[in-house]
Amino acid sequence: MKRSHPVRRAAETVGLLLAGVVLAVLAGEALVRLATMNQGNYVVEMWRYATLLKRPSDDPAIGHEHVPGSHAQLQNVEVAINSLGLRGPEPKTDARRRIAIIGDSLALGWGVPDAESLRGQLQAALPADVDVINDGVGNMNLSQIAAHWARTNARLPVDTVILVGSIRAPVIQPEPTRNPILRNSALSAVLVTYLSTLTSGATGREDMVARVRTEWTSGPGAAAMHEAFAQIAAQAQAHGQKVILASVPEMHDLDDYAFGFATEIQRAEAATFGWSFIDLRPALLGKPATAYWVTEQDLHLNADATARIARALLPLVGS
Quote the CA–CA distance of 130 and 99 in Å, as a whole number. 8
Q: What angle do CA 216, 218, 224 make, to 5 degrees?
A: 75
Classify 28 as helix, strand or coil.
helix
β 298-301/64-66 pair status: unpaired
pLDDT tops 50 at residue 184: yes
Mean pLDDT lowest among 27-36, 53-62, 147-156? 27-36
| Cβ neighbours of residue 235 closer than 8 Å, sequence gap 6 or more | 146, 149, 150, 153, 241
Tell me the backbone φ, ψ of residue 128, rounded to 5 degrees: -65, -25
Measured CA to CA in angstroms, residue 294 lies from 40, 70, 246, 308 at distances of: 10, 23, 20, 15
Does residue 180 have a pLDDT over 70? no
193: pLDDT strictly greater than 80: no
User: Has residue 2 got a pLDDT over 80?
Assistant: no
- The C-alpha atoms of residue 101 and residue 13 are separated, in whole angstroms, by 59
> Is the Cβ–Cβ distance between 65 and 128 less than 8 Å?
no
In the predicted model, what is the mean pLDDT of the chain?
Answer: 88
The pLDDT value given to residue 222:
97
CA dist., res. 64 & res. 137, Å (int): 9
CA atoms of 308 and 61, how far apart (whole Å): 33
In angstroms, the CA 20 to CA 253 distance is 46
Give the model's confidence band at 196: pLDDT under 50 very low, under 70 low, under 90 confident, else very high.
low
Secondary structure letter of residue 87 according to DSSP? B
pLDDT value for 27: 62
pLDDT at 20 over 80: no
Q: Percentage of residues in the chain with pLDDT exceeding 90?
A: 72
Are 122 and 132 contacting, i.e. CB atoms less than 8 angstroms apart?
yes
What's the pLDDT band for 42 if we cut at 50, 70, 90?
confident
Confidence of residue 225 (pLDDT cuts 50, 70, 90): very high
pLDDT greater than 60 at residue 201: no
Question: For residue 177, what are the contacts with CB-CB under 8 A and spacing of at least 6?
Answer: 183
User: For residue range 242-293, what is the model confidence (pLDDT) as tens digits?
Assistant: 999 999 999 999 999 999 999 999 999 999 999 999 999 999 999 999 999 9
| pLDDT score recorded for residue 80 | 98
Query: Is residue 198 very low, low, confident or very high in pLDDT (cuts 50, 70, 90)?
Result: very low
Q: For position 173, what pLDDT does the model report?
A: 77
Distance of CA 59 to CAs 55, 85, 86, 144, 176, Å? 11, 14, 17, 10, 12
Q: Among 29-33, 63-67, 106-110, 301-305, which stretch is predicted with the lowest mean pLDDT? A: 29-33
